Amino acid sequence: MRNIFFVISSGSIYRRVLPCIDQIEDKSSVLVIAPNESTYKFFTNYTPFNTIQLKVNPNLITKGTWYKALSNTIKSKYEYHKLFSDIKDANIHFFSTGNAIVMFSYLQKLAKKNKLFFYSSYHEINDEIKETSKKSTLMRWLIKVLLGFDAEVLNECGIVHCSIGDKFFKKNNVTATYKEFDTSIYKKYTKKISKLEGKKVLVLWSDLVTEGRVDEIMFRQQGNKLIDILDKVYPGQYIIKSHPNMSNLYGRMANAPSLDSAIPSQFLMGHPWEIVIGDCTAALVFPEEQNLQDTKLIEMIDILQFKNEKVKKDMKSFLTSWNNKLLFPKTFEEFEEMIK
């Protein structure tokens, strides 16, 4: 029996996808479906599993114009017919309920002749983050008309995206499993990551410019200042890893020592880092799970100048609600003293 894995979030690879694959006896039956380039690149370069990258923009239904949404819907129907129309009696596994909205239309069609399995530690939607504006109502209607299923529109820390919920699960008879897997098995399936020897500081940096959260000139200057300090205190001993889906680096950061952005940050946490630095980085949220109990975790959000202070406040609240060990320098002078 074929086992097809739809992988939306790079963060789920370490925590759920590979542990789930490990439980399948016939590994040759595994096929990974990646909706974005970074996930495809990681599976093809670092794991032994067959992987296909979807070509249709998984989010264009909700982020484009009416014309682009309609055009993308037509393209998605062609892509589904080409890749999945002949698949039946297979186990279809997925691990996320948000973003990649076109992919959920594929899952709904596959549910007619296959069995769907969902794995997560949670999937309930908090009513506080549901969007109720006229625009979100139109978005839900558009998804219903073009893709044929009910979706929720959410606003998490200023980022608006769509998510499936209980209606989708019930309609498509999804078997949902909520548990934590043994994450240590990832070493069985991933190649050794080079460039870490002699490195003591890991910088996890996301492109907040493209997301519209910060001004590019200011973000570039602040990144340059961070590199200046690291060159002074930890010369040759730091390395940068940008976010898989927000990977642009600016200024001196673009020329600093770096790792492949496609590597999920969780796969780097077996290294004995002295310091890990982030800019609104969810990877710092679960330090115990990621072997960072004795590592100094520094979040730079207080130094960064956001366009919307409420978004900044919400993001910091999210980080502190999950991890009270994070350090938040308010100036670069304070940051320099913190890492000495």
Helices (H), 198-292: 216-233
Q: How far is CA 193 from the centre of its chain?
A: 19
**pTM reported for the whole predicted model:** 0.84
Q: Determine contact, residues 302/316, Cβ cutoff 8 Å.
A: yes
Of 154, 241, 155, 244, whose CA–CA distance to 194 is shortest? 241
Residue extents of the structural domains in the chain:
3-188, 201-339
pLDDT in tens, the chain (340 residues): 899 999 988 878 888 899 899 889 999 999 999 988 889 999 999 899 999 999 888 776 655 566 777 788 888 889 999 999 999 999 999 998 877 788 899 999 999 999 999 987 555 555 556 666 677 777 777 788 888 888 777 766 556 667 788 888 999 999 988 777 777 777 777 777 778 889 999 999 999 898 788 999 999 999 999 999 999 999 999 999 998 888 899 999 999 999 999 998 888 887 889 999 999 887 787 654 556 778 899 999 999 999 988 888 888 888 887 777 889 999 999 999 999 8
Over its C-alpha atoms, the chain yields an Rg (Å, rounded) of: 21
CATH topology of domain 201-339: Rossmann fold (3.40.50)
Query: CATH assignment of 3-188?
Result: 3.40.50
The 3-state DSSP class for residue 98 equals strand
Q: How far is CA 33 from CA 129, 224, 251, in A?
A: 29, 37, 34
Q: Determine contact, residues 10/245, Cβ cutoff 8 Å.
A: yes
Q: Do the two domains 3-188 and 201-339 of this chain adopt the same fold?
A: yes
Distance between CA atoms of 225 and 247, rounded to whole angstroms? 19
**Number of Cβ atoms within 10 Å of the Cβ of 110:** 22
Residues 6+ apart with CB under 8 A from 47: 18, 189, 190, 191
